[in-house]
């Protein structure tokens, strides 16, 4: 383990960025492109859209709800073994899913097993990345998370091609082989010890402190609302286009259009997050509001030109909010508590990930179209934007520090002795 007084803002951190790039591609790139399988599962198992939607929702919810487990394992053993174990579980889940004979099998294999693997990979990797950067944290996050956009651009048509040539079972086998590369991503993670670490205490003390921290709790509520509507286009956009008479391949290609815009949005937002003075939460509120408005406008667009324009706009704004969403948390809780903080946020916002897609599918089954689904999804994001305004110093125009708002200054109620101090000293 390398020891540094403060984040190095470079060095091996760029290798961690590379690891996070491929890891985000193999986790959320696959999840975003999984809508291509949606229509195939509906036809293969003859089930309603609401029940099929639970496959992706369970996977997202398990990934987020299990994040504290990944955080705890990373705190005890380091992020490297946790992420490598997660890669094996993810590949195993996809492998078993190729033998499924019912939706229950897919719930258990993709939703539970692969979701558990994602929980052990995503949170520890981004938490490790946050500890390597301070001044350039938003840019590093933006570069790392561009893997989602690039992989979405490639995976959506690739998965559709695999479905056309190998059917859904063969396609899942190849997705399993692809997911095994998460093991190599984990091998690149090198733990970093910072001077702030002894001050913040152990996991139990950190969690207690976080649960009494008002801004952290409000931020968690905001991300939960955002998460409820965020994934709806990636689950149901292809099905919505099929309802409008689009062929499968062009519908899947439109997800690739969103992925290109997503890529540009992540890099631009990461650069702006470090360049614009003031709290990063203000940029997050801007991108979240724009994303909510765009989602609510989807039912209005019937012409292909309008749908393409909306999808490009959605890809940019939804991609732009992601790096700043992860950059806000270290400002609130500090790098010393980032593992526990990110784990708790991911666990609570799993409620939104669990309910969002099934609610959208239910509204589709009740109304016969996706109009209400997209409007409700946009409303959830707008509600999250309203909560973000309540964060401390939201309207401050001076450059924020990398310290949390009050957790570092107040630390913990009980000070933890530094290694060189005597056990009996305060």
CA distance 109 to 92: 8
DSSP string covering 321-376, please? HHHHHHHHHHHHH-GGGHHHHHHHHHHHHHHHHHHHHHHHHHHHHHHSSSHHHHHH
3-state secondary structure of 390: coil
* Same domain as 48, residue 168: yes
3-state secondary structure of 108: helix
- If asked whether residues 162 and 243 sit together in one domain, one would say no
- CB of 100 within 8 A of CB of 171? no
pLDDT value at residue 420: 42
Concatenating the DSSP letter of every residue in 191-259 gives -EEETTHHHH--HHHHHHHHHT-HHHHHHHHHHHHHHHHHTHHHHHHHHHHHHTT--HHHHHHHHHHHH
Q: What are 331's two structure tokens?
A: 């400002």
Helix 214-230 with 304-333: angle, nearest 10 deg: 160
Task: Assess if residue 139 is contained within a domain.
Answer: yes
Quote the DSSP letter at residue 416: P
Which pLDDT score, from 0 to 100, does residue 180 have?
94
Q: Is residue 405 part of a domain?
A: no
Q: What is the CATH number of the domain that holds 296?
A: 1.20.1250.20
The answer to whether residue 51 sits within a structural domain is yes
Q: Does residue 264 contact residue 148 with C-beta atoms inside 8 Å? A: no
pLDDT value at position 110?
Answer: 92
Give the chain's mean pLDDT.
82
pLDDT higher than 90, residue 90? yes
Q: Band of the pLDDT at 1, cuts 50, 70, 90?
A: low
Residue 135 CA to residue 141 CA, distance in Å, equals: 12
Span 130-147, pLDDT tens digits: 888 878 888 888 888 888
Instruction: Look at residue 425 in the predicted model and tell me its pLDDT.
Output: 38
Distance separating alpha carbons of residues 381 and 370, to the nearest angstrom: 17
Residues 30 and 105 in one domain: yes
Query: Which residue matches tokens 């994001």?
Result: 381
Residues 342 and 239 in one domain: yes
pLDDT surpasses 80 at 176? yes
Shared domain check, 141 and 221: no
Q: 191-211, pLDDT tens digit by residue?
A: 887 766 656 666 677 778 888
Backbone angles phi, psi at 2, to 5 degrees: -80, 140
**Of 128, 162, 194, which residue is a domain's last?**
194
- pLDDT for the residue numbered 399: 46
Query: Is residue 423 pLDDT above 60, yes or no?
Result: no
Mean pLDDT of 35-42: 83
Greater confidence (336 vs 94) lies with 94
Question: Phi-psi region for residue 95, left (φ > 0), alpha (ψ -120 to 50) or beta?
Answer: alpha
**Who contacts 257 (Cβ-Cβ below 8 Å, separation ≥6)?**
308, 311, 312, 315
8 vs 85, higher pLDDT: 85
User: Is residue 405's pLDDT more than 50?
Assistant: no
Give the pLDDT score at 408: 42
Which string of DSSP letters, residue by residue, matches 115-182?
HHHHHHHHHHHHHHHHHH-STTHHHHHHHHHHHHHHHHHHHHHHHHHHHHHHHHHHHHHHHHHHHTTH
> What confidence tier does 396 reach under pLDDT thresholds 50, 70, 90?
low
> Which residue range is the domain that position 306 belongs to?
201-396
Mean pLDDT within 253-273: 83
Tell me if 206 is assigned to some domain. Answer: yes
> Are 252 and 118 contained in the same domain?
no
- The DSSP call for residue 102 is S
Structure confidence at residue 412 as a pLDDT band (50, 70, 90): very low
256, 112: one domain: no
Average pLDDT score over residue span 82-106: 93
Which is more confidently placed, 56 or 317? 317
pLDDT band, residue 5 (cuts 50/70/90): low
SS3 (DSSP) at 112:
helix
Number of compact structural domains in the chain: 2
The verdict on 288 and 353 lying in the same domain is: yes
Does one domain contain both 285 and 302? yes
The residue-averaged pLDDT of 158-175 equals 91
Q: How far apart are CA 137 and CA 241, in angstroms?
A: 37
- Answer yes or no: is pLDDT of 6 > 70: no
Region class of 46: left (phi > 0), else alpha (psi between -120 and 50), else beta: left
Residue 40 three-state SS:
helix
Q: What is the pTM of this model?
A: 0.72
Residues 377 and 264 in one domain: yes
**Across 107-111, 268-272, 338-342, 392-396, which has the greatest mean pLDDT?**
107-111
Whether 417 shows a pLDDT value over 50: the answer reads no
Which of the listed residues 172, 194, 216 is the one where a domain comes to its end?
A: 194
Residue 363 in contact with residue 276, Cβ under 8 Å?
no
E-assigned strand segments in 19-90:
none
In this predicted model, what pLDDT tens digit does every residue of 304-357 receive, in sequence order?
888 889 989 998 998 888 888 888 888 888 777 777 888 888 788 878 877 887
Length of the chain: 426
Least confident residue range of 110-114, 133-137, 181-185, 386-390: 133-137
* Residue 368 in this model has a pLDDT that exceeds 60: yes
């Amino acid at each position: 383990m390398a020891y540094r007084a403060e984040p190095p803002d470079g060095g091996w951190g760029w290798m961690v960025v590379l690891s996070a790039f491929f890891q985000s591609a193999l986790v959320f790139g696959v999840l975003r492109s999984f809508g291509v399988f949606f229509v195939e599962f509906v036809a293969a198992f003859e089930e309603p859209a609401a029940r099929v939607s639970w496959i992706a929702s369970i996977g997202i919810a398990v990934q987020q709800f299990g994040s504290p487990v990944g955080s705890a394992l990373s705190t005890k053993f380091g992020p490297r073994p946790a992420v490598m174990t997660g890669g094996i579980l993810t590949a195993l889940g996809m492998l078993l899913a190729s033998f499924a004979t019912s939706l229950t099998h897919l719930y258990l294999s993709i939703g539970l097993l692969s979701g558990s693997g994602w929980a052990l990979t995503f949170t520890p990797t981004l938490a490790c990345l946050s500890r390597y950067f301070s001044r350039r944290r938003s840019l590093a996050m933006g570069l790392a998370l561009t893997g989602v956009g690039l992989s979405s651009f490639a995976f959506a048509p690739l998965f559709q091609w695999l479905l056309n040539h190998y059917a859904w079972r063969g396609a899942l086998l190849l997705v399993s082989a692809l997911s095994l590369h998460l093991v190599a991503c984990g091998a690149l993670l090198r733990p970093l010890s910072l001077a702030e670490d002894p001050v913040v205490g152990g996991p139990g003390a950190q969690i207690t402190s976080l649960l009494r921290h008002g801004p952290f709790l409000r931020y968690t509520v905001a991300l939960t609302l955002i998460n409820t509507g965020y994934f709806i286009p990636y689950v149901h956009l292809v099905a919505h286009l099929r309802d409008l008479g689009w062929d499968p391949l062009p519908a899947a290609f439109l997800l690739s259009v969103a992925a290109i815009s997503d890529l540009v949005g992540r890099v631009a937002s990461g650069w702006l997050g470090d360049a614009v003075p003031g709290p990063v939460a203000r940029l997050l509120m801007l991108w979240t509001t724009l994303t909510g408005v765009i989602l609510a406008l989807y039912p209005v667009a019937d012409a292909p030109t309008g749908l393409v324009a909306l999808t490009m706009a959605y890809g940019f704004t939804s991609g732009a909010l992601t790096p700043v969403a992860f950059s806000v948390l270290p400002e609130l809780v500090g790098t010393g508590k980032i593992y526990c903080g990110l784990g708790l946020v991911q666990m609570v916002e799993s409620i939104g990930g669990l309910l969002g897609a099934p609610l959208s599918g239910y509204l589709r089954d009740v109304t016969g179209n996706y109009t209400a689904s997209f409007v409700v999804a946009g409303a959830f994001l707008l509600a999250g934007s309203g909560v973000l305004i309540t964060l401390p110093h939201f309207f401050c125009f001076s450059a924020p520090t990398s310290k949390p708002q009050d957790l570092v200054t107040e630390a913990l109620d009980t000070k933890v002795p530094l290694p060189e101090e005597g056990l009996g000293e305060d």
